[in-house]
Amino acid sequence: YHFGIMMTIKDGEYTATIYKLVRTRSLCDGVVRLARKLDINPLSRAALSLLGFCYYHVQDFSGAAECYEQLTQLHPEVEDYRVYYAQSLYKAGAYAEATKASFALDTPSSHTKMIKLQASIKYFEENHSAAKCLVEQLPPEDTDYVHNMGCLLYQDAKYEDACKKFTSAMQVLGDVPALSYNIALCYYRLCNYAQALKYIGEIIERGIREHPELSVGLTTEGIDVRSVGNTLVLHQTALVEAFNLKAAIEYQLKNLKGAQDALTDMPPRTEEELDTVTLHNQALLNMDSKPSQGFEKLAFLLQQPSFPPVTFGNLLLLYCKHEYFDLAADVLAENAHLTYKLLSPYEYEFLDALLTCQTAPEEAFRKFDDMIGKMTEKLRKLAKQVLQEAKTARDDDGQKKALQEYDTMQEKYIVVLMAQAKIYWNRENFAMVEKIFHKSMEVCNEDDTWRLNVAHVLFMQNKYKEAISFYEPIVKKHYNNILNVSAVVLANLCVSYIITSQNEEAEELMRKIEKEEEQISYDDPDKKVFHLCIVNLVIGTLYCTKGNYDFGISRVIKSLEPYNKKLGTDTWFYAKRCFLSLLENMSKHIITLKGVMVQECIQFLENCEEYGREVPAIIEQPLEESRVQMGKNTVTYEARLLKALFYKVTSWNE
Ligand SMILES: *[C@@H]1O[C@H](CO)[C@@H](O)[C@H](O)[C@H]1NC(C)=O
Ligand SMILES: *[C@@H]1O[C@H](CO)[C@@H](O)[C@H](O)[C@H]1NC(C)=O
Ligand SMILES: *[C@@H]1O[C@H](CO)[C@@H](O)[C@H](O)[C@H]1NC(C)=O
C-alpha cells in the first residue's frame, strides 16, 4: 500500500515540456540509456537535472540520488535539489542516508516536507510509533496527515477507521488511485470483497482510459506486448497493486482462473522488472502448472532484503505439500529468526507437527491432537457467536463476519485433521483413519473434503455399501456437471455399485459420463477426455485383481480407444499396472493367457507406442535432481518395454 507523500519531482525550465513528454515513457528511457552508455563526467547542471528527473521517472532511484547529490554540492542554494536528493534516497530504500539528508531540509519553507519524509522513512522501517509522532506534527488540515493516519491505523489492524480516513482524504484530493487502492485494501481485510472489487474496478477502468499505452489485459488475450517498464506513471496508476489485490480476492473466492487472469491483465513487464508481490503471486497461482518455477521464485524472494511476509509460510507449506520435508526443515532452520515474526502460531505448530511426522510419527500425532483440541474449543465458541449474532441481528455485517471466521477456522481444522489421518493412511491402517474421522464428525459432518475422505477410507476397507452412502451425495451434488467430480470418485462409486450388485446404477452413471464427454468432444474435437476411460480402467483393474484377466484386460484395452483422446499419463498409469500384474502371474505360471489374448495385448501395446510419443509416463517431481533420461519418460518407451516382456514370458511358456 501507499504511505502518502505525494511530492512530485520537477525542475524549473524543464518541467513543463518534459512532464508532458515523459508520459510517453520512451523519452526517459532513452535519456537513461544514453546516459548509461556515454558516462560523461562531469555533467552540466542542466544535464544533471534532466538525468536525475529521468532516473526518478524510470524508478531508478539510486541513479536519481547520485545526480541530485552532485546538484546539491554544485548548487547548495537550491532547496529543491536537497528535497529531491533526500526523497530519491528514501525511494531507493537507503533509509539511514535519507534520514541524514532530510536534516538538511530543516528550513521554514521545507520543514513540512522534512517531517513527511522522516515519517515515511520511519513507517517503512516499521517503526510505527515514531512515524505516528512525526505525522502528528503535521497540520491536521494537511491531506497527507489524514492519509498517513489512515495508513497507521491500518497497521494497527483498525481497518474500519483507516478506511474512513482514506475516504475523507479522497474527498479533498479527489479520485487518486493510491487512495482508492488503500480503501480497497481495507475492505479486503474486512472480508468485504464486493466493496474491495468495486474500488479495484475503478482503478483499472481509469488506468485503461487514461493510459492505453500500459497495455492492460493484452497479455491475457494472448497478444505479445513489450514491457511498459517500472515508470512513475505506472506507479501512480496503482494498476499493479490493484491487479495483485484482485488476484488475492479471486484466490480467496476459490476462483483460480480469475486470479490468474488478474495477473496477466496487469501491465506487462519483464520478469527482472517485477516487484516482489507480483513475483510471489505468480509463483503461488501457477504452482500447479509450473511447480519448479514457482519454487525457484519463492526461494529467490526469501533471499531478498524485503519480500511479502506470507512468502515464508507459503514456501514452507508448498515444500511439505510436495513432500520435500528436508528442504522445509532446512529453510526453517536457516531462518529461525523469521519464524516468530512471519508465521502465525497455527502455521508454526502445523509445520512443526508435519516435520515431526518424518522422524517421530507418534509424537506428531500427539501434536496434531493438541491442535485439534484447541481448535474444537474455538469452533464451539465461534458457533455460539454465530447463533448470538443471528438472534440479536444488529447488522448483517456482524453475522457475516462471525460466519466467515467460523468457516476459516473449520478449514484450518480440516487441514490439521487430514494431516493427522495421513499418518495412519500411509501405514495402510485404514481402521484407525476411520476412527479419527469418526471422532471429528461433530465439526465436519457437512464438509465436502471430510465426506470425500471418509468415503475413500470406507472403500479401502471394502465397506462398499457405506462408501456408496458417502460418495453418492458428492456425485449427486454435481450431477449436472458430472465431469467436475474427480474421475477416481466416479470410478470408486461405479466399482462399489458393481460389487454390491447394483449394476443398473453403475451403468446409468457411466452413460451420464459418456454423454457429457460426447458434448465436450462435440464442442472441441481435439480435447482429451479421461473420465469414462478412468472409470473403465478401474473396473478392469477390479477384474484383474480378482484373477479374471481375460475380462479385465479386454476392458482396459477397450477403455483407451481412441488413443489420441484417451492416452494420457494418468490413464497409462492404470493400464500398465494391470499389464504388470498379468505379466507377473504369467511368469510365475500362475495363469496362462490364450493366444488370441496375447496377440491383442501386443497390438494394444503397439498402439500405445504409436500414440504415446508425446505423453509423459510419469509426472516428474518439480525439484528432482536426477531426471529420468530424455526419451525414457514416454508412454512409447514403456509400451516397448512391456511388449518385450510379453515376448519373453510367452516364449518361456512355450
Ligand atoms: C523508533 O524511532 C525512534 C526515534 O527515532 C527511536 O528512538 C527508536 O529506537 C526506534 N524504535 C525502534 C524499535 O527501532
Ligand atoms: C464445473 O465445470 C464447469 C465447466 O466444465 C464450470 O463452468 C463450473 O464452474 C464448474 N463448477 C464447479 C462447482 O466447479
Ligand atoms: C497375480 O499377482 C498379484 C500380484 O501382482 C497377486 O496379488 C494375485 O493374487 C495374482 N493373481 C492370481 C490369480 O493368482
Q: In the prediction, which pLDDT does 394 show?
A: 65
Total residue length of the chain? 654
Is residue 456 domain-shared with residue 356, that is, in the same domain?
A: yes
**pTM for this prediction:** 0.81
Residues 322 and 351 in one domain: no
Question: How confident is the model over 152-166, as a mean pLDDT?
Answer: 94
pLDDT at 12 over 70: no
User: Which of 461, 485, 514 lies at the terminal end of a domain, its last residue?
Assistant: 461
Same domain assignment for residues 348 and 314:
no
Is 3's pLDDT higher than 60? no
Please indicate, yes or no, if residue 576 is contained in any of the structural domains: no
Residue at 11 is within a domain: no
Q: Are 56 and 232 in contact (CB under 8 A)?
A: yes
Same structural domain, 349 and 402: yes
Q: Are 493 and 471 in contact (CB under 8 A)?
A: yes
| pLDDT score, position 174 | 87
Q: Confirm if 605 and 643 have CB atoms less than 8 A apart.
A: yes
Domain membership of residue 551 (yes or no) is no
Nearest C-alpha to atom 3 of ligand 1 is from which residue?
A: 130
Ligand 2 test: best mutation among 474, 479, 484, most atoms within 8 Å of CB? 484
CA of 131 to the centre of ligand 1 (A): 9
Residues 296 and 376 in one domain: no
Counting from 1 in the atom list of ligand 3, the atom nearest the Cα of 582 is 1
* pLDDT tops 80 at residue 82: yes
Mean pLDDT for the stretch of residues 402-416: 91
pLDDT at 245: 97
Residue 23, pLDDT above cutoff 70? no
- The number of domains in the chain is 2
Q: Minimum-distance ligand to the CA of 545? A: 3
- Contact call for residues 25 and 231 (beta carbons, < 8 A): yes
Query: Could you give the maximum distance between any two Cα atoms of the chain, in Å?
Result: 105
- Predicted local distance difference test score (pLDDT) of residue 476: 93
For residue 35, being part of any structural domain is answered with: no
371 and 453 housed in the same domain: yes
* Ligand 1: residue whose CA is nearest its atom 10: 127
pLDDT digits (tens, 9 = 90+) for 443-489: 888 888 999 999 999 999 999 999 999 999 999 999 999 999 999 99
Of the residues 283, 302, 327, the one at which a domain ends: 327
Residues 299 and 358 in one domain: no
The angle subtended at Cα 275 by Cα 272 and Cα 276, nearest 5°, is 105
Ligand number nearest to the C-alpha of 590? 3
User: How far apart are the C-alpha atoms of 94 and 96, rounded to whole Å?
Assistant: 6
Average confidence (pLDDT) over 96-106: 93
**CA 316 – CA 351 distance, rounded (Å):** 8
pLDDT in tens, 283-302: 999 998 899 999 999 999 99
pLDDT of 350-361, one tens digit each? Answer: 999 999 999 999
| Residue 127 Cα to ligand 1 middle (Å) | 6
pLDDT tens-digit readout, 220-256:
888 888 898 888 889 999 999 999 999 999 999 999 9
Q: Are residues 311 and 361 in the same domain?
A: no
Specify whether 431 is located in the same domain as 348: yes
Question: Tens digit of pLDDT for each residue in 626-648?
Answer: 667 777 889 999 999 999 999 99
| Ligand located closest to 481 CA | 2
Looking at the fold, whether 315 and 355 belong to one and the same domain comes out as no
Task: Give residue 26's pLDDT.
Answer: 60
CA–CA gap between residue 85 and residue 61 (Å, rounded): 10
Ligand 2 geometric centre to CA of 165 (Å): 41
Residue 388 has pLDDT above 90, yes or no: no
Res 1: pLDDT: 41
47 within domain boundaries: no
Does ligand 2 have an atom closer than 6 angstroms to the CB of 44? no
What pLDDT is recorded for position 8? 45
Residue 15 has a pLDDT of 42
Distance 483 CA to ligand 2 centre (A): 8
Q: Find the 481 Cα to ligand 2 centroid distance in Å.
A: 7
Check whether residue 298 and residue 372 sit in a common domain.
no
For atom 9 of ligand 2, the residue with the nearest CA is 484
Full domain range(s) for residue 399:
344-461
Residue 525 lies in a domain: no
C-alpha distances in angstroms, 598 versus 546, 550, 578, 594? Answer: 19, 10, 14, 6
Closest atom, ligand 2, to C-alpha of 481: 1
pLDDT at 49: 84
| Mean pLDDT score across all residues of the chain | 89
- Neighbouring residues of 611: CB distance < 8 A, sequence distance ≥ 6: 563, 564, 567, 635
Probe ligand 2: pick from 477, 481, 523, max atoms within 8 Å of CB? Answer: 481
Domain C-terminal end among 405, 428, 461: 461
Rounded average pLDDT over 48-62:
86
Give burial (CB, 10 Å; 0-12/13-18/19+) of 567: buried
Q: Is residue 456 part of a domain?
A: yes
Mutate to test the pocket of ligand 1, among 127, 128, 136 (most ligand atoms within 8 A of CB): 127
Same-domain check for residues 389 and 284 = no
